[in-house]
Amino acid sequence: MFRKSPILLFSICMTLFIASCKKPVEPPPISECGGEATTPYTVTRPAYFPSIPDMSDNPLTEEGIALGKKLFYEKLLSKDNSMSCSSCHNPAFSFTDNGKKVSKGVNNIEGTRNSMSLLNLLWAKNFFWDGREATLEKQAHDPVTNPIEMHETWPSVVEKLQNSSIYPDLFCKAFGTNTIDSNLVTKAIAQFERTIISTNTRYDKFIRHEISLTESETNGFVIYSTEKGDCFHCHNQVDMTFADNSFHNNGLDATFADKGLGAISGNSYDDGKFKTPTLRNIVFTAPYMHDGRFATLEDVIEHYNQGGTPSATVDPMMKHVGTGLNLTEQDKTDLLNFLKCLTDSSVTTNPAFLE
């Protein structure tokens, strides 16, 4: 018979005790500036979506999200007070740049890249076309100081916000302090961004058995999700993001004016690789690709149908380079109709996201 040793029992008790000490349950922060406790915000998502990632280093609160939304629309974040995040991430265009090929910053200087939509970034693990930032908080630091975007300095932004009549109080409510700093600004913006979630496309309704797809949409879905079109390898519909948190060369060019991931990693094996963008709300985000080279979705489908351009780093999952997909005109229409099933106007018109 197994006899319980007191030493063993003691060490089990100690382990349990230490484990229970590791994550103390903290009361909601009470502010040093006279604010109330914050109200936790719970993200809801359909059961067929990925689970909610850990957000314990910047927990969502009603107050933080409200402040983040205000900052997202705040022109004081730019050098000449003319531009906010929303100037290039307009909800009506699924948070992209009003149909512009590449974005223009405060001095009217043209950048080299197309603005990215901000849907379901709660589940994203890398940010920008080249993935150079790993969190939304770090991402939000960049546009403010980027000379071809808001071209401002953080000390100046902080001073403007600190001197405003509303912000010290809003930071007090959200973070329990009315001393503003860049970390709190980006934390609040990241909280707001994490609430921008699309779950109401025709495709979602189809998955929820609320509707059936038309014959054309069904054929489009088959092309999308089989070797016939091969879209699913990178724009993954199974995890519902229609992206894959990864980088690929989808056969745009033989040589690369913009090296994408390669310029960040310094590895020539990564040249010409860019972040797979989500295809949710793709009808609103024209023009397409990191440099906005394709004006329409028909052009994009034609690019893939032709098979794309061979190069040293073209993705092995671009299986039809050189041969093309050989889609019929009907197939192309059907694929387009399926892409239109990914439209979610409930996000672009949701008052929670509008100014």
Which residues are near ligand HEC by CB under 6 A? 77, 83, 85, 87-89, 103, 105, 111, 113, 115-116, 118, 121, 124, 127-130, 136, 139-140, 143-144, 149-150, 189, 229-231, 233-235, 248, 250, 252, 274-277, 279, 282, 285, 288-290, 297, 300-301, 304, 315, 317-318
Measured in degrees and rounded to the nearest 5, phi and psi for residue 158 equal: -60, -40
Nearer of residues 250 and 309 to ligand HEC, judged by Cβ: 250
Q: How far is the CB of 271 from ligand HEC (least distance, A)?
A: 12
Q: How far is the CB of 71 from ligand HEC (least distance, A)?
A: 7
Q: How far is the CB of 248 from ligand HEC (least distance, A)?
A: 4
Please measure the distance between the N-terminal and C-terminal CA atoms of the chain and give it in whole angstroms.
70
Q: How far is the CB of 116 from ligand HEC (least distance, A)?
A: 4
Q: How far is the CB of 255 from ligand HEC (least distance, A)?
A: 14
* Cα dihedral 217/218/219/224 (nearest 10): 80
Nearer of residues 204 and 331 to ligand HEC, judged by Cβ: 331
Residue 69 CB burial class (10 angstroms; 0-12, 13-18, ≥19): buried
The answer to whether 216 and 333 have CB atoms below 8 angstroms apart is: yes
Q: How far is the CB of 291 from ligand HEC (least distance, A)?
A: 7
**Whole-angstrom distance, CA of residue 307 vs CA of residue 2:** 68
Nearer of residues 186 and 199 to ligand HEC, judged by Cβ: 186
Nearer of residues 33 and 142 to ligand HEC, judged by Cβ: 142
147's CB contacts (< 8 A; 6+ apart) are 105, 107, 109
Residue 258 CB burial class (10 angstroms; 0-12, 13-18, ≥19): middle
Nearer of residues 202 and 275 to ligand HEC, judged by Cβ: 275
Among 75, 80, 45, which residue's Cα sits nearest to residue 199?
45
Q: How far is the CB of 224 from ligand HEC (least distance, A)?
A: 6
Nearer of residues 279 and 341 to ligand HEC, judged by Cβ: 279
Q: CA-CA distances (angstroms) from residue 170 to 154, 179, 180, 183, 281?
A: 19, 11, 10, 15, 32
Among 252, 260, 244, which residue's Cα sits nearest to residue 299?
252
Residue 335 Cα to chain centre, angstroms = 24
Nearer of residues 111 and 176 to ligand HEC, judged by Cβ: 111
Nearer of residues 35 and 320 to ligand HEC, judged by Cβ: 320
Token pair 């724009």 in the structure block, residue = 235
Q: How far is the CB of 285 from ligand HEC (least distance, A)?
A: 5
